[in-house]
Structure 1
Amino acid sequence: MAEATTGLDIGHVAALLAAGVVAVPVFRKLGLGSVLGYLAAGAAIGPFGLALFREPDTILHVAEFGVVIFLFIIGLEMRPSRLWGLRREIFGLGSAQVGLSGLALTLTAMAAGAPPAAAFVGAMGFVMSSTAVIVQMLEERGELPAPSGQRAVSILLFEDLAIVPLLAIVAVLSAAVGGGDEAAPPLWRTVGLAVAAVAAVLAIGRYGLNPAFRFLARYGGREVMTAAALLVVAGTAFLMDQAGLSMAMGAFLAGVLLSDSAFRHQLEADVEPFRAILLGLFFLSVGMALDLGVVLADWRMVLAGLAAFMLVKAGVIYGVARLFGARRREAVERAALFAQGGEFAFVLYGAAAAGGVIDARVSAALTAIVILSMALTPLTTLALKRLMPKERGLSPEDAEGVDSAEGLGGRVLIIGFGRFAQVVSQPLLARDVDVSIIEIDVEMIQAAGRFGFKVYYGDGARLDTLRASGAGKAEAVLVCVDKPETADRIVQLVKSEFPAAKLFVRAYDRGHTLRLIEAGVDYQIRETFESALKFGEAVLAGLGFPDEEAADVIAEVRRRDAARLDLQVTGGLQAGQSLMRGNLPTPQPAPYITPSREGRLLNEDEAPAGAAQEND
């Protein structure tokens, strides 16, 4: 075999692509996931396998951009208000997991005979879990948008924030052992630079990105928009890297700042192909970096450290999860998912080795432990899935009679098929309207099939699913899901990507109704409003009121509600609240309508705090 070179030529590119194309489908077929496939392929073609590549670090630096793009896409899905809502998880749950895990692992390493400084560095490198591995696995399992997935992302965000203080501590330890760089800037300057970088990203994202993208959309063309999207990701990552922060954190912030932009879906579509390829390349390069010589020479230390670190970290994570109110199943799954080191360990161990805190042999062993833990994570989660009792819900792969939404093209697309949509569909089917229905609940799909409905499996909050479901051909899209945030996401996608389709949306309450009106849907209705009015009309009739009088009362309540809603939309929230208190500019209600004790009529969304509300 000819000796491999350090540069990349077309043969190396072909080898990288071939490794991924061969290994990933095989490992996914075996149920082991794509991450382990990439890692195994990288080890096979790396310097300690077939030796097609001599310097995997060169590829790793390029491939890290895949992780950066991944965090940018996650940021696009995370509005500032939603991120603010996760502050308890980020700073509470995240800090507890990082702090307690770091303490436990440091004590474990010291108990094994490591000096305190080396024990701390080894422990904190392992505490920083792999963002790439965890987010990729959550996405493959469809759990990223779920509350448990959002909590996992919150912890990863705090770990990224912890990078600066950890590198500062390593610099202090290096100075203490005499190996530090005397020309290194003081700590206050490092922290100030990091704060300035974050402020710059926030300012540019808040005031500069939207005008720039509007200009490019008008004069630049599609390829320039794609280049601009990549420039935003690369530019924020570079700025954060120069300030000593995480590149992924910079890209995430840029995504959050663009999450309310009219261009967010176009940006996501533009960078997604680069994310998928570069992230696969990242896992390949991590597999190449596994030094099998170190593993064989120090196999006792490596295996003992791997087992001790993973078990101790998993135990602490489980305890922290339960302490913060997680269910037992979620706590176990989080422990298995986070019980590994991550890519940041390579940076921390490299800095510690350069500063003399740990020697080269220990650094290589610690790096091998981290890589092996990343490779074991898909296996441990797979074993956990098979050992733990199955949840009540089914997956589409395990269920009979469930087909994925692919190639549909009905005149009407219904998203969500709960009790609300089941009633909505009946008049359409009675008039032989061609209807396509997608639903994410497998058991609901199977139950509908027993009653003659053909419902397809699909997540309407995903753009690719909407395309496959025929949203581009549908005259009308009916959003009948019961979660308002999911409905908002679908509305944004349809308005942005399929503007010709009419949008009919089930609203949750008045606040959701106002958001839908602002979004420009063609029709919206609160899920319980009309049924509650009919219920009230029947009660009046049952109490002996004449049918005509009962109907007039209901018409007046409906008119008052429409007037309040219209004033809230056109006159602002303050005027709407004044109107809710009975300050009506329109004629006063009929004398047989008696206000509540507070002097006003209550809406169904004005129930006291904590009152239960029904969802279909």
Structure 2
Amino acid sequence: MAADGNTSQLVGIVTLLGAAVVGVPLFKRLGLGAVLGYLAAGLVIGPFGMGLLTDAQTIIHVAELGVVMFLFVIGLEMKPSHLWGLRGQIFGLGSMQVVLSALLLTGVGVSFGFPWQVAFVSGAGFVLTSTAIVMQVLAERGDLHAPQGQRIVSILLFEDLLIVPLLAVVAFLAPADAAAASASASPLWQRIGVAVLSLGALVAAGRWLLNPMFQVLARAKAREVMTAAALLVVLGAALLMEWGGLSMALGAFVAGVLLSESSFRHQLEADIEPFRGLLLGLFFLGVGMALNLEVVGRNWPLIVAGVLALMVGKALCIYLVARFAKSPHAEAMDRAILMAQGGEFAFVLFTEALKLRVMDAEVNANMTAIVVLSMALTPLVVVLYKRWARADALSLDGVEAPQDLQGNVLIIGFGRVGQIASQGPLAKGVQLSIIDNDPDTIRAAALYGFKVYYGDGARPDILHAAGAKHAQAIVVCVDDKAAATRIVENVRRECPHVQMVVRAFDREHALELVRQDADHVVRETFESAMVMARQTLKVIGVDDGEADLLLEQVRSRDAERFALETAGGMFAGRALVLGNIEHIAPPRHDDEARKQG
């Protein structure tokens, strides 16, 4: 019997892993993102799909640890001073969004014919955004540490803090007999006291216990014990907060912040990362499994209307608050779409409301389905908005198009490479013309005194307006292989005599650019890797002269291989290393080669 039980559990684990392995790559290949892949896979294998697994709530409960670990990793990136700097966003922006959304969504519930108590609990639960969905999407886009991402994280932190007062409000709204039973079990003042004590104990442990503990474990030099200690810190903090009636994710976040200045921060992040990713994926699988298609089928008009009304109402509130806080239109729209869903804390609130008879079982089932559907729809809406949003949705305030520029050097793309590449010509006093197609980059550059014009360097009309024909050199620094190749093609066609210095993504891209007659191609990682190699030689005792000689040999062999590769591709080119760039000479016809011997 025990063997049968173990086999059954193993089948369940294999089913979950198999669904993730099939679903996520497929949806990412379709451009729909990993989150939607997990949700769809969970729906297929769940009780209302193929029925391979039935206990969605247990999976969600376990997999919530993925959200907990995610918040711990975010906390590691936020030093206390940085968090203190976000206090205005956390309490100002967060409270404004929550209050306005709760009032509007309560009105939506009342308009559907529910008592105001039920409407308030339903609306307040929907206000609590899904931390898992939003954090995953921000991480995939690389926006987690950008200013707009930090504002979203601040609001999520404030919503995490709300779970205790909202549970207290549910107890206040409960019928007298249910409220009395709840009060006899645990008075409100006692719950608040326990919550404060739990938070204080966590802060004390973080300040005076954790670092000494990790120092002792580091001296033991047992890697697996360090991993166990990292998990102990995360899960222990979560458990302490749960005992105090607070959010487990909030506890993990606080623990991360307290360790953010520790010398063990990077080790902790590396140890937690594999567990975080796997459990977070498991959480999304569980949410997909929890979508009760029977409830949806039985009450689909109410549920569909509820999803649309609550998501649109919440998105409108978020947009208005963002605009009131002087966020650009594009950022406000992005935040509204990304945070328009309900979240995992809504399930906690609805369960408590059901237990205290504030809402009945049917309303609880309908609201749960509405929240799950909103979570499932959010990644899809984000993808659709990204694909179909108008190009002019970007704010172009303070951005100018180029017109009859006369710079000696034209720089196309002013990101991290273009900014550094401009320093040499600027030091010489050369007049620059700079264009970029990212308004945010242009506005950021203006803060440092750079005049950057808005335009796509792949368009011939933009090249003419930017003065490409008058330039002595065109420096292509865009962070997009295909765009760089198109720019080289157009420049060579429109301005055949202008010299080009082009950033290449890798060796294959460099070969492609050479075939398009780029004059000078620089592989973006080549020179930094050579500097690292030289420094490594010096560290192991090699003197400067020998290090330079060894690296010159490496450069020479690399240039010879590059020349062979270009010749093998039916391109009679030659590759030379000149100074700090790799120079690719243009092709010469056979008769020209004979003339030059």
Q: TM-score, normalised by structure 1?
A: 0.66
* SS at structure 2 position matched to 1:244: coil
**How many angstroms apart in 1 are the aligned matches of 2:250 and 2:234?**
11
Output one character per residue of 1:319-377: Cα deviation in whole Å (capped at 9) or x when no partner: 11100111011111111111110000111101110111111111010000000000110
Q: CA separation of 1:130/1:7 partners in 2, compared to 1, >3 Å: closer, same or farther?
A: farther
Q: CA separation of 1:201/1:420 partners in 2, compared to 1, >3 Å: closer, same or farther?
A: same
What are the residue-to-residue correspondences of 1:59-458 with 2, within 5 Å? 59-176=59-176, 178=178, 180-390=181-391, 416-421=416-421, 423=423, 442=480, 446=484, 451-456=500-505
Q: CA separation of 1:8/1:309 partners in 2, compared to 1, >3 Å: closer, same or farther?
A: farther
Displacement of 1:182: 4.5
Displacement of 1:473: 6.8
Q: CA separation of 1:352/1:262 partners in 2, compared to 1, >3 Å: closer, same or farther?
A: same
Q: Write the letter of the residue equivalent to 2:170.
A: V
- Partners of 2:93 and 2:321 within 8 A in 1: yes
Output one character per residue of 1:422-471: Cα deviation in whole Å (capped at 9) or x when no partner: 557999xxxxxxxxxxx9955999499953344549xxxxxxxxxx9699
Output one character per residue of 1:477-523: Cα deviation in whole Å (capped at 9) or x when no partner: 99xxxxxxxxxxxxxxx9xxxx979xxxxxxxxxxxxxxxxxxxxxx
**Could you tell me which residue of structure 2 aligns to residue 42 of structure 1?**
42
- Partners of 1:448 and 1:455 within 8 A in 2: no
- Partners of 1:448 and 1:454 within 8 A in 2: no
**Could you tell me which residue of structure 1 aligns to residue 472 of structure 2?**
none
**How many angstroms apart in 2 are the aligned matches of 1:91 and 1:198?**
18
**How many angstroms apart in 2 are the aligned matches of 1:392 and 1:100?**
25
Pick which of 444-453 and 360-369 moved more.
444-453
Q: CA separation of 1:152/1:441 partners in 2, compared to 1, >3 Å: closer, same or farther?
A: farther
**How many angstroms apart in 2 are the aligned matches of 1:86 and 1:272?**
25
Q: Write the letter of the residue equivalent to 1:121.
A: V
**How many angstroms apart in 2 are the aligned matches of 1:56 and 1:500?**
55
**How many angstroms apart in 1 are the aligned matches of 2:216 and 2:145?**
32
Q: Write the letter of the residue equivalent to 2:216.
A: F
- Partners of 2:481 and 2:504 within 8 A in 1: no
- Partners of 1:175 and 1:181 within 8 A in 2: no
**How many angstroms apart in 2 are the aligned matches of 1:98 and 1:68?**
22
* SS at structure 2 position matched to 1:52: coil
Displacement of 1:247: 0.5
Q: CA separation of 1:182/1:82 partners in 2, compared to 1, >3 Å: closer, same or farther?
A: closer
**Could you tell me which residue of structure 1 aligns to residue 543 of structure 2?**
none
Pick which of 192-201 and 66-75 moved more.
192-201
Displacement of 1:189: 1.1
- Partners of 2:126 and 2:342 within 8 A in 1: yes
**How many angstroms apart in 2 are the aligned matches of 1:391 and 1:274?**
41
**How many angstroms apart in 2 are the aligned matches of 1:167 and 1:440?**
51
* SS at structure 2 position matched to 1:196: helix
* SS at structure 2 position matched to 1:54: coil
* SS at structure 1 position matched to 2:82: helix
Q: CA separation of 1:440/1:350 partners in 2, compared to 1, >3 Å: closer, same or farther?
A: farther
**How many angstroms apart in 2 are the aligned matches of 1:281 and 1:93?**
31
**Could you tell me which residue of structure 2 aligns to residue 24 of structure 1?**
24
* SS at structure 1 position matched to 2:49: coil
Q: Write the letter of the residue equivalent to 1:43.
A: L
**How many angstroms apart in 2 are the aligned matches of 1:11 and 1:472?**
49
**How many angstroms apart in 2 are the aligned matches of 1:423 and 1:374?**
47
Output one character per residue of 1:269-326: Cα deviation in whole Å (capped at 9) or x when no partner: 1110111100000000111111111101111111111111011111111111100111
Displacement of 1:217: 0.6
Report the identity percentage: 53
**Could you tell me which residue of structure 2 aligns to residue 523 of structure 1?**
none
Output one character per residue of 1:364-409: Cα deviation in whole Å (capped at 9) or x when no partner: 100000000001101211221123223799xxxxxxxxxxxxxxxx
**How many angstroms apart in 2 are the aligned matches of 1:331 and 1:317?**
7
Output one character per residue of 1:41-92: Cα deviation in whole Å (capped at 9) or x when no partner: 1111111111122211111111000000000111111111111111111000
Displacement of 1:416: 3.8
Q: CA separation of 1:218/1:426 partners in 2, compared to 1, >3 Å: closer, same or farther?
A: farther
* SS at structure 2 position matched to 1:129: coil
- Partners of 2:478 and 2:484 within 8 A in 1: no
Displacement of 1:195: 1.2
- Partners of 1:164 and 1:245 within 8 A in 2: yes
* SS at structure 1 position matched to 2:174: helix
Displacement of 1:129: 0.6
**Could you tell me which residue of structure 2 aligns to residue 595 of structure 1?**
none
Q: CA separation of 1:77/1:306 partners in 2, compared to 1, >3 Å: closer, same or farther?
A: same
Q: CA separation of 1:175/1:27 partners in 2, compared to 1, >3 Å: closer, same or farther?
A: same
Q: Write the letter of the residue equivalent to 2:131.
A: T
Q: CA separation of 1:177/1:75 partners in 2, compared to 1, >3 Å: closer, same or farther?
A: same
Q: CA separation of 1:28/1:444 partners in 2, compared to 1, >3 Å: closer, same or farther?
A: closer
- Partners of 1:75 and 1:256 within 8 A in 2: yes
**Could you tell me which residue of structure 2 aligns to residue 399 of structure 1?**
none
Aligned residue-pair number: 439
- Partners of 1:106 and 1:119 within 8 A in 2: yes
**How many angstroms apart in 2 are the aligned matches of 1:54 and 1:178?**
31
- Partners of 1:417 and 1:444 within 8 A in 2: no
State the superposition RMSD in angstroms: 3.3
Q: CA separation of 1:274/1:472 partners in 2, compared to 1, >3 Å: closer, same or farther?
A: farther
- Partners of 1:449 and 1:455 within 8 A in 2: no
- Partners of 2:478 and 2:503 within 8 A in 1: no
**Unaligned stretches of 5+ residues in structure 2:** 395-414, 428-476, 489-499, 507-523, 541-597
- Partners of 2:238 and 2:251 within 8 A in 1: yes
* SS at structure 2 position matched to 1:43: helix
Pick which of 165-174 and 282-291 moved more.
165-174
**How many angstroms apart in 2 are the aligned matches of 1:385 and 1:5?**
46
Output one character per residue of 1:236-281: Cα deviation in whole Å (capped at 9) or x when no partner: 0000011111100010111111111111111111110111100000
Displacement of 1:420: 3.4
**How many angstroms apart in 2 are the aligned matches of 1:392 and 1:350?**
41
Q: CA separation of 1:470/1:302 partners in 2, compared to 1, >3 Å: closer, same or farther?
A: farther
* SS at structure 1 position matched to 2:182: coil
What are the residue-to-residue correspondences of 1:471-490 with 2, within 5 Å? 475-476=531-532
**How many angstroms apart in 1 are the aligned matches of 2:178 and 2:14?**
46
* SS at structure 1 position matched to 2:341: coil
What are the residue-to-residue correspondences of 1:571-586 with 2, within 5 Å? none
Q: Write the letter of the residue equivalent to 1:226.
A: T
Displacement of 1:103: 0.6
Q: Write the letter of the residue equivalent to 1:17.
A: L
Q: CA separation of 1:99/1:251 partners in 2, compared to 1, >3 Å: closer, same or farther?
A: same
**How many angstroms apart in 1 are the aligned matches of 2:479 and 2:166?**
43
Output one character per residue of 1:586-616: Cα deviation in whole Å (capped at 9) or x when no partner: xxxxxxxxxxxxxxxxxxxxxxxxxxxxxxx
Q: Write the letter of the residue equivalent to 1:354.
A: K
Q: TM-score, normalised by structure 2?
A: 0.68
- Partners of 2:330 and 2:393 within 8 A in 1: no
- Partners of 1:6 and 1:54 within 8 A in 2: no
**How many angstroms apart in 2 are the aligned matches of 1:158 and 1:25?**
34
Q: Write the letter of the residue equivalent to 1:164.
A: V
Greater share of residues in helix: 2
Q: Write the letter of the residue equivalent to 2:501.
A: G
